[in-house]
Structure formats: structure tokens, C-alpha cells
Amino acid sequence: MAEILGREFQGLQEQRIIAFKQLDEAHKAFLASAPNYETQFDDYKKEVSQVTDKFQSVSKEIIKIKKELDSEYSGTRLGELIGRVQELEEKKLHRVVDYQLAAQQALDNPGDDLCEKNAKLIKQDVDKTCELIMEILTEIRYEIAEIESVSR
């Protein structure tokens, strides 16, 4: 049963990845409308709202899975690993928003080295967070495989 919960988590994580891609595409379209952001603002706002709803829905389901794993399957590391992914995904979301604002500021202020450097540093932090998430997702895959091999 723990492996089933692990697989459910993986499916939800895929949904979260798709939502991040939607957010990124919406932001790119918004930035492409510079300096007349008003033309894309309503579409961007609508997309952000939809993605935010998706993130909340996915997070609620993942938290349920984590709680069940912690209470029913404490002998595995799945609950702990999923909790770490959840924390990092939350950090990633906040940093992505910071990056979007910094990227817009850099676009609006061409030649401003400080704005460009700020956006670059935030993007590096987002990338590092993504790498950490990927490492933990790999650990989760191995943990699920181990659980499946024991339960056969």
C-alpha cells in the first residue's frame, strides 16, 4: 500500500510540473507584451489564478498522502522524502514569483546591471532548488522500488 501512495505522489508531482510549465509560458507571453503589459495582463492574471488553484489542490492531496504514510507506514522513508519535496516546492514557487518580478524589472530597465544580476541570481536559486527536488524524487523512486521488491 505504501508503494501505491508513492505512485499517487508521483502522479501529483507530474501535475505540479505541468502547472509550473503553464505558469512559465504565461509569464513569457506576458513579458513579450512589454512595454504594453496591459494587453496581456488579464490573460496572465487568469492563468496565474488557475495555476494557483492547481498548486493548492495538488498540495492538499500530497499532504494527505504524507500524513497517511507517516501514520500507517512509518517504517519507510517515503513520508519524510515527500515532506522534503513539498517544502522545496513551496520555496520554488516563491522564488519563481520573485524571479518573474525580477525578470520584468530587468526587461523594463535595459542596461541596469543590478536588475539583470538580481534576476540571474534568483534564477540560479530556482535552478538549484529544482536540482534538489530532482535528487529527492530519485530517492523516492528507489524507495518505492525497494518497497515493491519487499512486498512481492
Note the pLDDT tens digit of each residue in 88-121.
Answer: 999 999 999 999 999 999 999 999 999 999 999 9
How far is the C-alpha of 85 from the C-alpha of 108, rounded, in Å?
34
Amino acid 74: pLDDT: 85
- pLDDT above 70 coverage of the chain, percent: 99
The answer to whether the bond into 110 is cis (omega within 30° of 0) is no
Closest by Cα among 78, 84, 88, 81 to 128: 88
Closest by Cα among 85, 78, 81 to 150: 78
* CB burial of residue 144 (10 Å; 0-12, 13-18, 19+): buried
How far is the C-alpha of 79 from the C-alpha of 75, rounded, in Å?
10
Q: Are 32 and 43 in contact (CB under 8 A)?
A: no
| pTM for the structure as a whole | 0.91
Closest by Cα among 79, 49, 77 to 63: 79
End-to-end CA distance of the chain: 12
How far is the C-alpha of 61 from the C-alpha of 13, rounded, in Å?
10
**Whole-number average pLDDT of the chain:** 95
| pLDDT tens for each residue of 46-96 | 999 999 999 999 999 999 999 999 999 988 899 999 999 999 999 999 999
